[in-house]
Structure 1
């Protein structure tokens, strides 16, 4: 039964060991049985927290634009060991994080024509904050983008 639950979960999407343990616990599976099944799944390579963490970091950074801080929180929430999480987060350097913040700001700024520069800055800062970007990253990117916007150029 536990093996079938794990296999069904893994066919839907990759999962961390902690997520699978929780699912088995929710389904009433004894901890010793769950441990043996998950150990076997790890041995054969079906459960791999390191690969899962790297996949999560890559996909969430590129698709949702999450910062390293938000990605670290996401990994903790998924039950990934801190050491594995730190290794996966090495994929996203400071330069990549800033570049992604610039892309997000540029895309959002295109939809804000006609708004006052202060309103644009406030909205952009809120958007970046929700994605986990610190003020040290966000504000220089926002200032540069607004200063470079054609509507704020002096004639």
Structure 2
């Protein structure tokens, strides 16, 4: 009876990985929620990793690509670490995928949300909080809100 249960976990893992990349920790949590007594989740995870069907590095790169236009590096890093991706893999994914610098990405997020220079201290603080909640550093936020116009865009 163990073989069909293991096969069921393997099928579940394959189905989950077919829809999107998952970190090993995410996949473990989802499989443990579906596993019955005696199922070997570790064996299924190890097999998925050995065959290349699950890769934390590939997951990290995919995650960074999907979030880079809306979030800062600090928030992406934190979210990847929460999903169980190792620090070195997080750094590698951020370095490889983020082709634009942090300031230009923050400028794009700011432009889409606000597009106007803050008129007073209250509005400045509101815009700064928004950008920081998206994971942009305080230095980037100060630089952007001090000089929001992108000189490279001017002719």
- TM-score w.r.t. the length of structure 1 is 0.80
Q: How many residues were matched structurally?
A: 142
Cα deviation for residue 21 of structure 1 reads 0.9
For residue 20 of structure 1, the aligned residue among 24, 27, 41 is: 27
Q: Decide which moves more: 5-14 or 29-38.
A: 29-38
- 2-structure distance, mates of 1:8, 1:22: 15
Cα deviation for residue 24 of structure 1 reads 1.5
Cα RMSD (Å) of the superposition?
2.4
Aligned to 1:142: 145
1:133 matched to 2:136:
yes
- TM-score w.r.t. the length of structure 2 is 0.80
Structure 1 residues 82 and 3: alpha-carbon distance in aligned structure 2, compared to 1, 3 A threshold: same
Q: Decide which moves more: 41-50 or 101-110.
A: 101-110
Q: Which runs of 5+ in 1 are unaligned?
A: 149-155
- Name the SS for the 2:141 alignment partner: helix
Q: How does 1:5-154 map to 2 (within 5 A)?
A: 5-29=12-36, 33-62=40-69, 65-91=70-96, 92=98, 96-110=101-115, 116-145=119-148
